[in-house]
């Protein structure tokens, strides 16, 4: 698709009563639509999947392929601003829409973050510390890359990976041809193994005027490459927390982000903070904010995308968020028997292995530590 050269007004404020167009229809879009409704907005989703979670709570839904130009044109005509709730969208789609309506984040942010090599190179260009990595453009290049970085190492598909998909750990006895086949991509990136103490993430919002609001670092625990538990506050020093927040703000500024950015990081044994991946939209590790923060990440996303003043990120409780993966969702009744549990189900019909079906959050009184509220 060829976008017209003239772009829509990217500084426009979208007042309550307007329509937010969301590319994608998953649970992140669902929770964004619910937050948007509380602020008086309507949501129109664009997604190729019928009965997607966001469609249950949205004002209108378009079911079409992301390269359907006539459907995209009609979608743009019905909304006031465009955003997205996951990265697996052709960048040509956002290029086309950005010529018609304000698109936030801008298409270049999607282009950079949906491909791991582009993302890592961008981070290197702005002096952000990351894991060591090498471009593996073809299978034949894998052997020399492994020799350079050593074993263990992590081979990842450069494009369209999430929840551990397209990732293979290359240990001492792993056959490299087998690793390439398991990775499943046409182009790979090999990353050095990081012996980290813990994984953390920071979510930062940025408005069209450059104002930012940042949530304090949270600690993430994974199971089978899928986020299992998020704890807030993260068990890191104030110095590490401050450094992680500064890195997240720096990346958002350099991207000229308008919207929300989640920055996943490793904390090493000597308190280095290394960026692992970026997600320019609401993030699983921010779900605790629905119940534990003055402003949820989803409301903050709406505020940023619409050009409204950003909300307070103050945490009023400590929190533990746990994902419900696959058949875990069948325990919903027992969870509801616990009055301290806040249960969130996504309305998905089939509980497949590895599929995120919902989450729950437990809150406890805040332990008198810093709130993470930091607006500039």
Cα gap 68→79, rounded to integer Å:
17
Half-sphere exposure of 227 (CA within 13 A, CB side): 24
Cα gap 263→66, rounded to integer Å:
26
Residues annotated within a binding site: 116, 156, 161-167, 191-194, 199, 222, 276-277
Residue position matching structure tokens 């304090």: 216
Cα gap 82→130, rounded to integer Å:
31
Structure tokens at 253: 């500024």
Cα gap 343→264, rounded to integer Å:
25
Q: Which phi and psi (to 5°) does residue 181 adopt?
A: -65, -45
Residues annotated within a binding site for ATP: 116, 156, 161-167, 191-194, 199, 222, 276-277
Query: Listing from the earlier edge strand, what are the strands of the sheet with 133-136?
Result: 133-136, 188-192, 153-157, 167-170
């Amino acid at each position: 698709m060829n976008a017209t050269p003239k772009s829509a007004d990217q500084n426009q404020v979208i007042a309550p009563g307007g329509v937010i167009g969301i590319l994608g229809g998953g649970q992140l879009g669902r929770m964004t639509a619910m937050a948007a409704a509380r602020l008086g907005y309507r949501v129109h989703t664009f997604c190729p999947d019928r009965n997607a979670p966001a469609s249950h709570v949205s004002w209108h839904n378009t079911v079409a392929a992301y390269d359907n130009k006539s459907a995209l044109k009609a979608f743009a005509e019905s909304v006031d601003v465009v955003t997205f709730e996951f990265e697996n969208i052709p960048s040509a789609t956002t290029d086309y829409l950005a010529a018609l309506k304000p698109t936030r984040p801008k298409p270049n942010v999607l282009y950079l973050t949906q491909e791991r090599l582009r993302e890592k190179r961008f981070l290197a260009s702005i002096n952000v510390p990351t894991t060591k990595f090498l471009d593996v453009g073809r299978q034949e290049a894998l052997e020399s890359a492994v020799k350079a970085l050593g074993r263990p190492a992590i081979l990842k598909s450069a494009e369209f990976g999430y929840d551990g998909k397209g990732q293979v750990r290359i240990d001492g006895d792993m056959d490299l041809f087998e690793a390439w086949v398991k990775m499943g991509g046409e182009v790979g990136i090999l990353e050095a193994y990081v012996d980290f103490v813990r994984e953390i993430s920071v979510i930062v919002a940025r408005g069209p005027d450059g104002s930012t609001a940042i949530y304090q670092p949270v600690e993430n625990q994974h199971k089978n490459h899928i986020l299992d538990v998020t704890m807030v506050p993260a068990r890191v020093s104030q110095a590490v927390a401050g450094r992680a927040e500064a890195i997240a703000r720096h990346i958002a500024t350099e991207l000229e982000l308008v919207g929300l950015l989640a920055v996943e990081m490793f904390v090493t044994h000597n308190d280095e903070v290394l960026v692992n991946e970026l997600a320019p939209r609401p993030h699983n590790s921010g779900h605790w904010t629905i119940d534990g923060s003055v402003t949820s990440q989803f409301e903050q996303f709406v505020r940023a995308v619409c050009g409204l003043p950003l909300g307070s990120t103050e945490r009023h409780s400590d929190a533990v968020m746990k994902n419900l993966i696959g058949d875990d969702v069948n325990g919903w009744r027992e969870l509801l028997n616990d009055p301290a549990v806040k249960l969130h189900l996504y309305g998905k019909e089939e509980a497949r292995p590895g599929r995120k079906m919902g989450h729950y959050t437990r809150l406890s009184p805040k332990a008198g530590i810093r709130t993470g509220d930091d607006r500039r």
